[in-house]
A and B are shown apart, each in its own frame.
Chain A
């Protein structure tokens, strides 16, 4: 029997506010342990939390970006559980009235748009970090992360493959980046998710029993966790067994999930209203202000790039996925000097390569859209070859200089003088009789060798198109 998986995701994203959610401690990753802690975030008795205004704004931003409804009155609740990373023994979260409800996130599946429903987005606080190491006598707790603001984005069970889940996660990440509300540093755990998977026989309307996997800390981990869970549940069902509704812990190193809690231990968070915090009210004016300040969203940008008619979906996606690059691309195309496709090729090709080699960002480079377009225009005019352009790029990447000046200084201009080139071509043909006879004998790839020889003889300044043309002409005379 064929089983269709159904997947729902709960994404927790750390917000990039300057301070924590309920106190003025700095929200900073990587600080020395327990140096960003005060009596409020370490849960000392008698302290009172005060909500950070920006947390409400950031959550509403995300909500409005996905077309969610803002609950203009919402409240916060205590979620109770005992664990050493949670010093109050409860997490302040939102239970029955989250800040945002509804909305959807567009993704592309095989080039077609599909919308993944979002149930709700609420605000909550992060827990501290437990450090386990055999060299310590106990488990160590670092409370720096305690009280870092999170939004939890809960999807509808609208995804049916690990690919769709991956697309959805990427779309969420791009939204967070475009809205500038999260650092999205995956390796630092700024986005984490819980994964729900169930299987139902093909054609069946009812959903199967779901298992929830916690502790999924990367998008690729989420894909592996989903695929593992689909296999595990398929095997159970095929053996005639049933799937138990349970929470499982994903161990990415082992590539396996493990049952965390048996049924009789089912989590019971005993939510109740947080009496220390006032009701959150979001006014019509505030909503209008946030909505008005939303940037162009990644999906809209993707559609705009696709509509240029020159770029592949892959290229559009690569540009959209890197905000700095997308903005640079837009500034280049606004100049209307060269084809968008050429700009895209350089951005995704050599420029990305240099950035990767250096591990730096486009915003750190001295490269300007004007200089890049001027350089591409020089190639299109035939002034420089593609190869010479790479040399120009190395210079204008770090220095704001006109490419024309760089070409001049380095003597990179192409020789487009047909007369001089023809002499050179004839010399090369005279010196390479073997290749000439190979070519005549049908080995057309001998032409490539001859072009290479001419390029070398011209010290790289010959125009390969002209050389190739002249070679063909001269060869036909022999």
Chain B
């Protein structure tokens, strides 16, 4: 069972602010998701080799490809300042 406090913990980690009603709904919905995923545990994977999609060693050579221009990259910044992405003040 996914509890409301677990939902609260996940919401906090994901920087989400939820109402009490949302917490309740999400707890139920996530329960269903976890139950569905839990079916995987019935599989016998002992003889299955480590792989994600059957491919191994998809690698590239250590060769420089020109980066994007700063203007181009900063088009994605909600706010830009002094050549940087500017975000709300963050203190550790």
Contact = CB atoms under 8 A, between A and B. Distances in A.
Interface of A: 17-19, 23-26, 32-39, 42, 44, 50-54, 56, 73, 75, 80-84, 97, 130-132, 136-143, 215, 249, 260, 268, 270, 273, 275, 277-281
A127 to B, nearest CB: 13
Contact of B81 (A37, A137, A215): A137
B46 to A, nearest CB: 15
A56 B59 CA distance: 9
Given A50-B60, A51-B59, A278 B84 contact: no
Grouping DSSP codes into helix (H, G, I), strand (E, B) and loop, the B interface class, with mixed when no group exceeds half, is: loop
A141 B82 contact: no
Given A18-B63, A26-B67, 11 more contacts: A34-B73, A50-B58, A53-B61, A83-B90, A130-B90, A137-B81, A139-B87, A141-B86, A215-B92, A268-B9, A279-B56
The main secondary structure of chain A at its interface with chain B is loop
Contacts of B79: 138
B52 interface: yes
A80 B9 CA distance: 14
Contacts of B88: 138-139
21 contacts: A19-B63, A24-B63, A26-B64, A32-B83, A33-B70, A34-B85, A42-B73, A51-B59, A54-B62, A73-B56, A83-B90, A139-B87, A140-B81, A140-B85, A142-B83, A215-B92, A260-B92, A268-B13, A278-B57, A279-B51, A279-B55
A35 B70 contact: yes
Contacts of A83: 90
The 7 closest A-B pairs by CB, nearest first: A24-B65, A140-B84, A138-B86, A54-B62, A278-B58, A53-B59, A141-B85
A23 B62 CA distance: 9
Given A138-B87, A249-B92, A37 B68 contact: yes
- Scoring B14, B51, B85 by chain A CB atoms within 10 A of each residue's CB, the highest score goes to B85
Contacts of B58: 50-51, 277-278
B91 interface: yes
B2 to A, nearest CB: 14
Contacts of A80: 13
A130 B59 CA distance: 30
Contacts of B67: 25-26, 35-38
B60 to A, nearest CB: 5
Contacts of A23: 65
B9 A138 contact: no
A414 B79 CA distance: 73
B57 to A, nearest CB: 5
B44 interface: no
A47 to B, nearest CB: 12
Nearest to B55: A278
B50 interface: yes
A278 B60 contact: no
A34 B62 contact: no
B26 interface: no
A334 B45 CA distance: 59
Contacts of A81: 13
B19 interface: no
B76 interface: yes
B65 A19 contact: yes
A132 B62 contact: no
Contacts of B13: 80-82, 268, 270
Contacts of B76: 42, 44
Contacts of B85: 34, 84, 140-141, 143
